[in-house]
Each structure stands twice: as structure tokens, then as C-alpha cells.
Chain A
Amino acid sequence: MIDMARFKPKTVYVIYIAATPEKIWAALTTPEFTTAYFLGAAIEIEPKEGGAFVMRKPDGTIDVSGEVVEWSPPRRLAVTWGVRWLPQMRDVPDCLVSYDIEQAGDSVRLTMTEAHQWDVPDALLSGGRAGWPAILSSLKSLLETGKPLAIKMQPPREMLDALAALKR
């Protein structure tokens, strides 16, 4: 059992999407959608608490992996999130990523929260802070217009520097 109280929210992003909660849930949890807006990564997720969760890169390697902490369609999904593709991230504690989906008038509010269980330096958060707004905007565009946005992403320099400093 994962102690949620240990995790403190560090990054919270909110986006309004003209779609149904069910459609947004499907976009978050099925590979047909995630490959379109999440930098090409395909989600594999066991639909239950304690289930395995993986984001797989187009070349088949693991991008992110973790465990399902909450599976409440179509309202709330929470997973532990460990970045595996960057070797420098191997010793960094997993964070908790949760999505909350709420009806807000004619559209739906999607809130992404990245919470950490240690005093993570800001520079390490810069990767997520660069990536999430683009990923969420792309998800919105995909659901509203049928077309995702083009995203080209590299880990920010400051994040790589901070990871190198952590090793020492």
C-alpha cells in the first residue's frame, strides 16, 4: 500500500477540454491515444489498483514505469511514476502522477498533479515543467480537433546538470 500523504504536490497543471470525461479517460489509458499525443509513447496499464503501469517508447524500450495507485474511471487515475529511459534517473525516487477529471460547465477540467516524496530540487522538476504543458495541449487538440500538436522535446540542460550533481 502506498502512503499518499508522503507525497507533496510540486507541479499542478489544469486544462479545460471540450470532450466527455469518458473520452478523456480513454485518451489517458489507451495506447491508440497516448501514442498520438504523449511523445509517441504507448501506455500499458492493468485496470486495477496495484496493477502494473508502463509507458513504452516507439522503439520498444521503457520510458516510464510504475504502479496503479487509484483506478476510478472516469474521475481519477493515479500512478507511481519512475522515469526509466534516462540512466541518470535510476536512483531518483518515483513520483506520483494523478489525473483528476471533473465536469466544469460545458467542458471538462483535467488536472495533472505531480507529487514527490522527497525534497526534489527545482532543476529536476524542469523536465516535467517543460513537457507537461505541451503534452496536455496536444491531448486537448487531439480530442477537440482530431489532430495532436507536434512536440519535439529534449530533457532541459538544467535537469541533466542537476542529475549529474546528485550523483556526486
Chain B
Amino acid sequence: MDAVFKALADASRRELLDRLRAENGQTLGELCERLAKTGIGMSRQAVSKHLAILEEANLVATVKRGREKLHYLNPVPIHEIAERWIGKFERGRLQALVDMKKALEQSDE
């Protein structure tokens, strides 16, 4: 669990997880290209290093397909953290709060 929190304690790595959530199964090249397109400067080497840390923490799973290595967001460790601190009776109420926050913030836009 230490590895998970350490991996998450970095904005660049959270950005990479967001990118995989938006589009799962990207190669290193695709991730770099799309980061650059949206004005986020991260060298290929840095992205590769961050991905290795995320994979080590089991937050990213990889699949080899032909010559490509595809990266997938693996939310299982985060689910386990939620299981540990969020009880099953709290879940419904928390979801209601999150839904309300989303609805209110969207109506502001």
C-alpha cells in the first residue's frame, strides 16, 4: 500500500492515470504524443519512468500485443483502499454527495 500512495503523490503520475482513464490501452508513444498535443511537456524518458513506478505500484497493467506494449489503468489497489476505509453503509451517501457536487459544478459552467 505504501507503493500506491507514493505513486499517487505526484501530479505527473496522476495526469498519466487520468490519460489512461480517458483512453485505456495506450502505448508510450501515444501517451507522449497526446501529452504534447495538450501542451504538457514531459519527456519520453520521464513518462517511461513514471509508468514504471505506476506499474510497480500495480496502478498500471501492461499487455504486449505484437511489438507494442499497451498500458491500462488498474484501479484494483484504489478499490482495496476504498474497501478498507469506506464502509458499505457509507457508500450510498458518499455517492449522493459526489453526484450533487458534479451536478452543481456542471450547472456553473
Contact = CB atoms under 8 A, between A and B. Distances in A.
B103 to A, nearest CB: 13
Contacts of B58: 14, 16
Given A9-B72, A10-B24, A149 B83 contact: yes
A12 B76 contact: no
B76 A113 contact: no
Contact of B80 (A8, A11, A137): A137
Size class of the B contact interface (CB-based, 8 Å): 10 to 19
Nearest to A136: B76
**Mostly helix, strand, loop or mixed at chain B's interface?**
mixed
A9 B63 contact: yes
B6 to A, nearest CB: 17
B29 interface: no
Given A133-B76, A137-B76, A150-B88, A12 B83 contact: no
Contacts of A137: 76, 79-80, 83
A12 B80 contact: no
A111 B26 CA distance: 18
A145 to B, nearest CB: 12
A164 interface: no
A134 interface: yes
Given A9-B25, A9-B72, A150-B88, A14 B79 contact: no
Contacts of B80: 137
A113 B70 CA distance: 12
Interface in B54-76: 58, 61-63, 65, 70, 72, 74-76
B75 to A, nearest CB: 6
B70 A9 contact: yes
Report, nearest first, the 4 A-B pairs whose CB atoms are least far apart.
A133-B79, A12-B72, A12-B61, A14-B61
Interface of A: 8-16, 111, 113, 129, 133-134, 136-137, 149-150, 152
